[in-house]
Amino acid sequence: MAGSAVAETIKPLFSTETIARRVEALACDIAAAKLDNLIIVAVLKGSFIFAADMIRALHRQGLHPEIDFMFLASYGSGTVGGEVKVLRDVETALAGRDVVIVDDILDSGRTLVFAKELLAARGAHSVKTCILLDKQVPRRVTVTPDFIGFECPVEFVVGYGMDLDNRYRELPYIGVLEG
């Protein structure tokens, strides 16, 4: 927090250039999937920078995806699976559409499975998932992302949209919080 006596340091994990190259490769993979009437659904807040870079990369691949957003929150204690709630829902009709959910980090899997099931139930033709970071932890639910940016160590990461108490989202790289 501002004025905090404890100073944190951030050790870079994925550089700006490395992220940019991986986003371009993911866009190529998504384009190769030949999705029709594509809509990107970004899960807020953490994925907003990744989603923005992704839709620009998809444009460079000749795609013209629509974009919408959902804001999900998971409630419960740290060790007990909590309930996922929709704080802001998509506004676009999804029936017959190919949807790609874009999220920043996959850990327990509960939020991603919830989002995927919710959007599929609305009649989407297909619902794919694109995750920037796949944290190497045991999942609480079974989920396999369709598109993965990077495997992530079991570390607390910030930057490129990800935060600690709404700080560090602005960093152009992803780093491990130390200290």
Please give the pLDDT value at position 34: 96
In the chain, what are the domain boundaries?
19-151
User: Which among 80, 84, 86, 23 is positioned nearest to 57, based on CA atoms?
Assistant: 23
> Left, alpha or beta for 166 (phi > 0: left; psi -120 to 50: alpha)?
left
Q: What is the pLDDT of residues 117-176, one digit of tens each?
A: 999 999 999 999 999 999 989 888 899 999 999 999 999 999 999 999 999 999 999 999
What amino acid positions are annotated as catalytic residues? 107
Which of these ranges, 1-5, 29-33, 109-113, 165-169, has the smallest mean pLDDT? Answer: 1-5
This prediction's pTM: 0.91
Task: State whether CATH 3.40.50.2020 applies to domain 19-151.
Answer: yes
Please give the pLDDT value at position 168: 96
Structure tokens given for 62: 């000749």
Specify whether the CB–CB gap between 87 and 69 falls below 8 A: no
